[in-house]
Amino acid sequence: MKVSRQRLIELHLNDDEKFIFLEGPMFDTALVGVIERYGQPRILCYDYQKVIKVLVKQGMSDEEAVEWFDFNIIGAWMGDETPCFLHRFR
């Protein structure tokens, strides 16, 4: 089930918190939920494979998508609210 950014914020965000979304609404299809950790801000969680699929859909090869992800997404620290990425067991 796809959840809009606005609905996600309404359901999970407190007044003193913020979520950092990946840039561009095309990545919303890769959102899987919110991670809660003791003593830390809640953060968004994206499905790694779905993020790679979005990048491939944008015209990258699988290899280019993984390289771009490694450098530009997972390699971009944006503070304590930086999103996490789920690698599913298959």
**pLDDT confidence tier of residue 10, bands split at 50, 70 and 90:** low
The pLDDT value recorded for residue 15 is 65
Residue 46, helix vs strand vs coil: strand
Tokens of 45: 């969680």
CB 21 within 8 A of CB 43: no
Q: Nearest to residue 40, comparing CAs of 85, 84, 81?
A: 81
Residue 57 or 32, more confident:
57
Q: CA 22 to CA 57: how far, in whole Å? A: 16
Instruction: Identify the residue whose tokens are 């809640």.
Output: 42
The pLDDT value recorded for residue 19 is 85
Residue 1 or 47, more confident:
47
In one-letter notation, the amino acid at residue 64 is E
The pLDDT value recorded for residue 47 is 96
pTM of the model: 0.84
Mean pLDDT of the chain: 88
